[in-house]
Amino acid sequence: MQRFILPKIKSSIFEKEHGVFWFSSKELLLIWDKKKKSLFLPVGSGFADGQVADVDVAAHTVIKLCEMIGLSAASFFIWQSATVFVPTLSSPLERKIIKQVFQKAGFQKINLVTFATALKTFAQRQAIREGVGLYLGDDVSEAVIFSQQEQLSLNFDYLKKSAYQTIRELLQSEVALTVSQDSVAKLYQALGQNLEIQSFVLRGKNIQNQQVVTLSLSRKQLKTIIDLLQKNLELAWRRLTANNLFTNHNLDQWLVVGDAFVYHFMQKQQVAQVLFLHSELEIIQGVEWF
């Protein structure tokens, strides 16, 4: 009798792919298989102000980003999983909607990780066992007090979006200039890189005649902006450190993510160590999240 031998199916056919995602109001970040990619989120991407605005459109945006980096679309032979970072104080409904987006994009397993957990995990990988993490996004800012045993999340009342608005209002009142959001963001970034900056060139519209003009801000004008931003930051700092939770922890170790201006402010405070990360990518590629 002839024996029929089933061919061996290579285990590699049943691949496992895992993507790590972090989205903000401006971009969606992805790391997969040592590759990293960021996708700017324009109007109509399904995401708005750091939240999901349209589940179907947002799922299409996620698929588009995955295709850019080579992460396969949903397949019978491929098991896709995702780690997605979410604001710590996001509601159960917001988290449910985020899961729906990635399910529609073809992911079978979605693991949601809060910003607080991300900050604590990364800090402890850097041998910071107890301290404070500050995440500063455009639309979300939060603080986490952490130790090896616990983590406690708090609001931090300082947003880059609010800082941009402060700069815009000062430019309108002091030099009668209206500028774009991108120009304001570039100025804020320049201030974060060098608080002693002597001049900065801006292009915008004159409020009185609506003509496009190019203006070089003087050191005095820049100092006015810096002083007001630092005043607002000082108020947020005082509200944060006045919390009773701060009296029961060793808070000499700080991790600041995403805002160089705040980092320079922190260096002037009475803390032993401040570690600065320029973006969320440094967090999500610094730890294996699966």
DSSP 123-167: HHHTT--SEEEEEE-SS-EEEEEE-SS-EEEEE----HHHHHHHH
Joined together, the tokens standing for residue 51 give 């939240």
Per residue in 170-225, pLDDT tens? 999 999 999 999 999 999 999 999 999 999 999 999 998 999 999 999 999 999 99
The CA distance from 221 to 212, in Å, is 20
Long-range contacts of residues 269-276, Cβ cutoff 8 Å, at least 24 apart: 269/237, 273/128, 275/123, 275/126, 275/128
**Rounded mean pLDDT, 61-77:** 73
Q: What is the mean pLDDT of residues 71-80?
A: 61
Q: Where in the chain is the domain with CATH 3.30.420.40?
A: 11-107, 115-290
Residues 6+ apart with CB under 8 A from 56: 46, 104
Does CATH place domain 11-107 in 3.30.420.40?
A: yes
Whether this prediction's pTM lies above 0.85 is answered by no
Give 282's contacts (C-beta < 8 A, 6+ positions apart).
Answer: 122, 257
Tokens found for residue 172: 């309108």
d(CA 148, CA 110): 26
pLDDT 10s digits, 40-58? 888 889 988 778 999 999 9
pLDDT for the residue 75? 56
Q: Which fold has domain 115-290?
A: Nucleotidyltransferase; domain 5 (3.30.420)
For residue 290, the model assigns a pLDDT of: 59
Q: Tell me, what's the pLDDT at 72?
A: 66
* Three-class secondary structure of residue 18 per DSSP: strand
Mean pLDDT of all residues in 257-283? 87
